[in-house]
Amino acid sequence: MTISTIGRRIRLGLIGGGPGSIIGETHRIAARVDGHYDIVAGALSSDPERARQAALNLGIEHERAYPSWQQMIEEEVARPDRIDVVAVMTPNDSHHAICMMALDKGFHVICDKPLANDLAQAREIAARVEATNAEFCVTYCYSGFPMVRQARDMVRAGELGEIRQVHLQYVQSYLAAHDLPAGWRTESGRAGRSLVLMDIGTHAFHLGAYVTGLDVTRVCADVGSAIPGRTIDDYVSALLRYENGARGSLWVTNAAAGSEHGLSFRIHGDKGGLEWHQEEPNRLIHRRHDGFEQIITRRLGPTMSEGAQRSTRIAIGHPEGYLEAFANLYTEFAERVAGRISEGERDDRPTLFPGVSDGVKGLAFVDASVKSMAAGAWQDVERA
């Protein structure tokens, strides 16, 4: 990966992700990997004392270890060394309020997925991003894997031809036990209209759209639980129809006993297909309709696509994985924000990292899937 010189380090303020949060530590590692960020402020918990102590434990100065996210945003605005970016890693039901306030106060935002708790909130955030002209990233982190970007570039170069089928899976065992684990995800309303769709379903949905460049226009979904008597959604299977007429499927569950992570795609055009499994992230399988199977590995060199080369760090092929993929999004966002700081104008060129429109599309898919289940019929997916 070519790590650019961006002029100065980006000042980062953290909201959420405190003690006990897996995703919080992931965000912090991602911010540090390429050395573009200084974590200078934080409100890491909804409990004021825990929020302060967690920030102090990270080495944040006492005056910038805030008891609440509201106080952090208000006080940072007035500082001459104010933060540049707010990173949001709180439960889903708080994303809307935090993002809206951060945008109104002039900050750029990195928000953990899903963008909001429902489609209406997601659209409000997108409208505010447009009005404030801010930079915004939604951390659909699997789009940062080099072999995912290799696949994306190959599709765009026409190596698969016209896309005809897209099949997506994300199969975990996190909720396979009858007793639900404690935490906000299993509290009514906090995770959104469907736990499984909001938690991991939007990841699988985004992966298909990211690689193919195609939007899903219609969905027929079976959403519910694979555990008898459970009222929280832990299973979805869906038939998909893409904007070019391609057909697809999505199978997502976090209640498949014995599974580990199980995120994968198989994409087929009229010239061949691509297959990728996140449990073996450095291998991409390319099958040509009229040729041999090819295994493409993550190895920096001229045979890799531009997107894949940009996203890999180690030339001789040592394994890279989840944390590096997450870091790719943070680094690309830092470059974008640094350009805004130095140039003062927004760069309208497409980004490799997912933006606010990707977040809106994810919530539109969730909305259509839930409606499809209720109606027992195909449902149109609203456009972002």
Convert the pLDDT of each residue in 345-354 to its tens digit. Answer: 777 788 999 9
Residue-level pLDDT at 2: 47
Residue 43 near residue 62 (C-beta atoms within 8 A): no
pLDDT tens-digit profile of 118-161?
999 999 999 999 999 999 999 999 999 999 999 999 999 999 99
One-letter amino acid of 38: D
Structural domains in the chain plus CATH codes: 10-141+326-353 (3.40.50.720), 143-314+362-380 (3.30.360.10)
* Contact partners, residue 182, CB within 8 Å, separation at least 6: none
**What residues does 16 pair with on adjacent strands?**
89
Contacts of 160 (CB under 8 A, 6+ apart): 154, 267, 268, 269, 270, 271, 272, 273, 274
Both tokens assigned to 79: 């500082």
Phi, psi angles (nearest 5°) of residue 189: 85, -20
CB 253 within 8 A of CB 172: yes
CA geometry: angle 337, 330, 339, nearest 5 deg: 20
The pTM assigned to this predicted structure is: 0.94
Cα separation, 349 vs 95, in Å, equals: 26
CA dist 365 and 379 (Å) reads 10
In angstroms, the CA 253 to CA 168 distance is 12
pLDDT in tens, 26-78: 999 999 999 999 999 999 999 999 999 999 999 999 999 999 999 999 999 99
